[in-house]
A = this chain, B = another copy of it.
Amino acid sequence: MRPPTDAVPAKIRLHTPLEPADLAVLSELALRPRAFAAQELVAAAGDPLDLATIVLEGMVCRTKLLPDGRRQILALLLPGDMVDLHASVLGRRDDNLEAVSPCRVALVPQSRVLACAAARPALHEAFMREAMIEAAIAREWVLNLGRRSALEALAHLLCELKVRMDGVELGDGSRYPLPLRQQHLADCLGLSLIHLNRTLSKLKASGCAIIRAGEMRIDDWNGLVSLAHFGADYLHFRSSLAA
Contact = CB atoms under 8 A, between A and B. Distances in A.
Interface of A: 62, 64, 66-67, 70-72, 74-75, 86-87, 89-92, 94-95, 125, 128-129, 131-136, 138-143, 145-148, 187, 189-190, 229, 233-234, 236, 240-241
B142 A74 contact: yes
Contacts of A229: 66-67
B90 A136 contact: yes
A99 to B, nearest CB: 19
Contact of A86 (B95, B132, B148): B132
A141 to B, nearest CB: 5
Nearest to A238: B91
A128 B74 contact: no
Nearest to A67: B229
A145 B190 contact: yes
A186 to B, nearest CB: 10
Contacts of A141: 142
B136 A139 contact: no
Given A86-B132, A229-B66, A146 B91 contact: no
B129 A74 contact: no
B89 A125 contact: yes
Given A134-B135, A145-B145, 12 more contacts: A62-B139, A66-B147, A70-B147, A89-B125, A89-B128, A91-B240, A92-B233, A94-B139, A95-B139, A138-B139, A142-B145, A146-B190
A75 B143 CA distance: 11
Given A62-B139, A146-B190, A129 B89 contact: yes
Contact of A94 (B86, B129, B146, B234): B234
A147 B187 CA distance: 9
A236 B241 CA distance: 33
Nearest to A232: B94
5 contacts: A64-B139, A74-B143, A87-B132, A89-B132, A147-B190
A132 B241 CA distance: 24
A147 B89 contact: no
- Max chain B C-beta neighbours (<10 A), residue from A74, A90, A131: A90
